[in-house]
Structure 1
Amino acid sequence: MKSFDLDSAIRKIPDFPHKGILFYDITGILTNPEAFAWCIDRMCEIYADRNIDSIACIEARGFVFAAPFAYRMGIPLVLVRKAGKLPGRIMKKEYSLEYGRATIEIQASDILPGQKVLVLDDLIATGGTLKAAVELIEEAGASVADIFGVIGLPFLNYHDVLKGYSITVLQEYYNE
């Protein structure tokens, strides 16, 4: 696969959402068809031989990358949503944020015992949401094959929160 300068497509927005924060914006990838295609192609290349049964993606920007990947790989797409967004029987997990608590949910019938699940988000920062998703998947009897992010911010210590899990990212940033 040919290389691509993904960093050049990621917008860096200073002081968003708060002063002192540098926001890494994936919408620059989405408005650049070559960058977006490279991301999906690269994901397919990375996971071509990994025996993944489904992909669980985090609301909402994770959906954007997971849907074409799931289609190309021919695997089911499982939505990990904020509380109150899914009908039917759900499984939920409450977790801590830096400013409070949140809850995510999956439909109970979407994750089957014994499945190998790839967990995806657009950006891995502190790892809290992904850790909650991983716990839901494991409570359903499945295993986590890998955790994937388009962008990773290891300076926020997500490796500590997700210790013991394989993590793959396309672009890492090491400082704010």
Structure 2
Amino acid sequence: MNPLKAYIVVMTFQLTFIGIKYGVSNTTNPFQQSTPSPAVSLFLAALFPHVIASMLDMTNKTIIITFHVSGVVGCEALLHIFLCNFFWYCITNLFLLLLVLSFCFFDYISHMLLRLFNYASHLRHSLLDYVSHLLDRLFNRITTAAPSNARPMPNMEPHPHPAPV
């Protein structure tokens, strides 16, 4: 499937689900009410830039970001109409935002993660080298040097005494 048409397919499914849920009743269908809900207005406001951005050249980064952001906002607005629960809307919002960010910036994110892991590996090796160097210095200092305040111990070997005469 063409990634540019993924939002249209998702929005079509969502509109179908909304149509099945609310039916053709004027009182419950949010699209047939005399004053549309804010979610319907948000959906329509996101739909127009999405359609316009899909017709333009997709090599420009600004157009790509506009396309994806307006697509996500449109899908979120439809999900808000379908679910009618603010808590689920927030969960969906976060999930879709992370999904779009991963699609838009996959190369950048993978490059940044690779740099982070390389830096962490280098830092770990540097830290281990530093700790081993400190332990080596400490061990050498303990084994080779006597403390400066140490007195020489008296000779504890038995001395031969002269025989009494």
TM range (shorter): under 0.3
Give the TM-score of the pair, scaled to structure 1: 0.21
More strand by share: 1
> TM-score, with normalisation over the residues of structure 2?
0.22
